[in-house]
Structure formats: C-alpha cells, structure tokens
Amino acid sequence: MSEARMTALRLENLTRRFKSGEETLEILSGASFSLYPGEIVALVAPSGTGKSTLLHLAGLLEAPTEGTVYIGEKPVSGLSDTVRTAVRRDQIGFVYQFHHLLGEFTACENVMLPQLVAGVSAKAAKVRAEDLLGRFGLSHRLNSLPGRLSGGEQQRTAIARALANRPKLLLADEPTGNLDIATSDHVFDELLRVVREEGVAALIATHNKELAARMDRTVTLRDGKLVPF
C-alpha cells in the first residue's frame, strides 16, 4: 500500500443499535469514513444524530453493532479489551466537552500521568508535559490544580493531556462546547496550531460552523451515514 493511501483512522460500515425496552434504535447505519495522517476534519451534525456515538466507536470506548474500526490500517474494534485499551493508550487521544482532569493532581501531573501509564520515565514525562503546556500558553500554570484554572485553561490542559503520548489520532467531542465564544475561539486556535505542529490526524465534533471552516474539511451525519457537509 502506498504511503498516500494509508489512513490514520478508517471506519467501515459502522452500525450502532441501542435497545430501549421493546424498541431498537439505530443511530449509525453503515457509516464509512477515512481520515488521513495529519488531516483535521470537522464533524458537524444536529444534536442526537450520533456524533458522540461515532467518536466513542472510533475511540474504541464502545463496540459497533456491525462494522470495523481500523486504526493505522489495523482492524481493532473486534479485539480484546486489553488490546483495545493498549491501542487507546498508545495511539488515540480523546478530548471531551468537559475536561475530566483529575482534581487532586496539578496540570503538569495530569499531562504526565498517561505517559507514566505508558511506561515513560517521570523525567521524560515532565519534560514533555512542560513543553506541551508551554505551547498552550500555560507555562505559568504547571503547578495549579484544575479547580484553580479557568475553563479555557482546563480545556487546554485536557488537550495537552490527550496529545501527551504522541497519538496518531486525536478525537474531540465538542472540545470547546462549554466555553464562551471568545474563549472557545482562542482555545481552538491553539488546538489547531499544536495539532498541526504535532502532525496528528484529528476528527473534531463541533456545533460551530466557523470553527469547522478552519479545518481541512467537514463531514456530517445523514441517515446514519457520514457524508461531506
């Protein structure tokens, strides 16, 4: 396979059904999508159409009812919990709308933790955490607990944490969705800059069409399938 055709993420015919009582709800119906290395794609679709569901499948947090998730050309969605956890840890960064930082650890420690879990030495993890947080304009907040950070600072720390292990793939579910417009704009500038610097492929769900326009292309969900916006 030529380098140009490699994908960072490939979704093949994903279907996701939820059972609620007697009824079965089909949210995704054969969704397929390719994300190429270094590409940043926006996912813009109305509430309830399945953006979070899709990101959870792509991030190996949930299993599809049918179909396959490929990370770096490897089919991984059907593998064991242990393998999927390892793939998630080493190759995927995930950012949620609400930061989910660990409140009892400093910003720097929060960015160090996933590296320590992956076996990086404390010294190297600290260097990487300080570098990343510095690039998000947080050099003066390294030792602050999350509760002492502003909303924008918390989200920038969460993005730095998602990038800590140099993933090939960043998945973000409305990463600035709980911030005011000015803060959201600023955090997004930094997210896009650092993601491009790191060369990470990213799929980012957002309701904000102006933010989406700053990415390489936009896809939407229609009838449970991913289509160009």
Nearest Cα neighbor of 194 from 186, 149, 117 is 186
Q: Classify 201 as helix, strand or coil.
A: strand
Among ligand ATP, Mg ion, none, the one that 160 touches (CB under a kind-dependent 5 to 8 A) is: none
Site for ligand ATP (CB under 6 A): which residue of 35, 50, 60, 160?
A: 50
Minimum CB separation of residue 218 from ligand ATP in Å reads 15
Looking at beta carbons only, is 2 or 47 nearer to ligand ATP?
47
Q: Which amino acid is at 71?
A: I
168 Cβ contact partners less than 8 Å away, ≥ 6 residues apart: 8, 37, 71, 72, 91, 92, 200, 201
Please choose, out of 43-51, 63-71, 74-82, 146-154, the segment that lies near ligand ATP by the rule CB under 6 A.
Answer: 43-51
Residues in contact with ligand ATP, total (CB under 6 A)? Answer: 12
Q: Which residues pair with 202 in a beta bridge?
A: 40, 170
Cα 41 from chain centroid?
Answer: 11
Site for ligand ATP (CB under 6 A): which residue of 52, 77, 176, 184?
A: 52
Looking at beta carbons only, is 51 or 128 nearer to ligand ATP?
51
Using CB under 5 A as the binding rule, whether residue 106 contacts Mg ion is answered as no
Using CB under 5 A as the binding rule, whether residue 52 contacts Mg ion is answered as yes
Minimum CB separation of residue 118 from Mg ion in Å reads 28
Among ligand ATP, Mg ion, none, the one that 87 touches (CB under a kind-dependent 5 to 8 A) is: none
Alpha-helical regions (H) of the chain: 51-58, 81-91, 107-117, 122-135, 151-163, 181-198, 209-213
Nearest Cα neighbor of 177 from 193, 188, 192 is 188
Site string for ligand ATP, 1-20 (x = CB under 6 A): -----------------x-x
Q: What are phi and psi of 9, to 5 degrees?
A: -145, 135
- Which residues of the chain form contacts with ligand ATP (CB under 6 A)? 18, 20, 25, 27, 45, 47-53
